[in-house]
Amino acid sequence: MLEINWYLPILVFFARVLDVTLGTLRIIFIGKGKRLLAALARPHVRCLHIFSGGLPGAPDLKHARLVARQLQSEHHEVTVRLKDCLAILSDVIYHLESFDALLVRSSLINYLVAKLASQYVPAVFSGEGADELFAGYEYLKSIPPGLLFTELIEITNRLHNTALQRVDRCASAHGLIVHVSFLDPDVLDYALRIPARFKIMDGVEKWILRQAGAGKLPDSILNRPKAKFWDGAGVGELLAQNAEIRISTADFEREKQLPNGWTLNSKEELMYYRIFREHFGEFKNLSWMGRTKGALPA
């Protein structure tokens, strides 16, 4: 039986920065990894701040409130509507320097939550890397166990110009510092030495994180299936629908092929590309820009 003590290096990482934060920990809250960070850190700090965001009725807001009550933390949230997302869309793409549809989607709420957090604190913790290191994505269940480790390495190596770019750019736009605890070198090294069979067990993704959170978080949180950032915040479908209204099928067919050879996959991505082009012009070489896995045709 595997002893679930992998989280000890995370607490060591907390200790390195708690002197700076004077016993106050700040969490940008979306996702199971961030909830677990909050639960693990709570006994070690005098005051815990949790920040969340989404559309009215979004699942992430509901779960953030539940965790905040259980952990007796200070909870701050921003509730937005489609018009709020559209109002900041140009600014987000400018700071993000990307038109990747899934990355832009997730950055909109992240940008607004970072703005909220910057009004209270100079630095926050976030949980990026947990899904990649501990197999949190639904599609990973379909990968043969013998290939799972290789897949986790691949998606971890994509973080620098996808999810981490989102976190960095959205925070930096508001002068905020983000600590990504799961990607601390000690935690990363520990996670990669855990056999992949303990990460998806009996069809349950991120099994080891769920075990580590047992007794620290409500069962409804621990057992919640993985939701994409934009789905949890409630914005994904609205953005796609807005693009369908704005862009005709004829325009999409005419503009979907980019000068570098890439093909845009949706009207939503074209909507973002048009804004990107207004800010930065056209590029014949976009090799520096990350794409969410699956965004490019095989």
For residue 37, being part of any structural domain is answered with yes
pTM: 0.86
Instruction: Show Cβ contacts of residue 183 under 8 Å, excluding neighbours closer than 6 positions.
Output: 128, 129, 159, 164
For residue 247, being part of any structural domain is answered with no
Q: In the prediction, which pLDDT does 33 show?
A: 66
Q: In the prediction, which pLDDT does 67 show?
A: 85
For residue 256, being part of any structural domain is answered with no
Find the farthest-apart pair of alpha carbons in the chain and give their distance in angstroms, rounded.
Answer: 59
Q: What is the mean pLDDT of the chain?
A: 83
Write out the residue range of the structural domain in which residue 19 sits: 8-81+103-229
pLDDT-based confidence at 237, cuts 50/70/90? confident
Domain count, the chain: 1
Is the pLDDT assigned to residue 17 strictly greater than 70? Answer: no
Return the half-sphere exposure (C-beta side, CA atoms, 13 A cut-off) of residue 220: 9
- Tens of pLDDT along 86-127? 999 999 999 999 999 999 998 999 999 999 999 988 888 888
- Whole-angstrom distance, CA of residue 62 vs CA of residue 59: 5
For residue 278, being part of any structural domain is answered with no
DSSP string, 145-179: HHHHHHHHHHHHHTGGGTHHHHHHHHHHTTT-EEE
For residue 156, being part of any structural domain is answered with yes
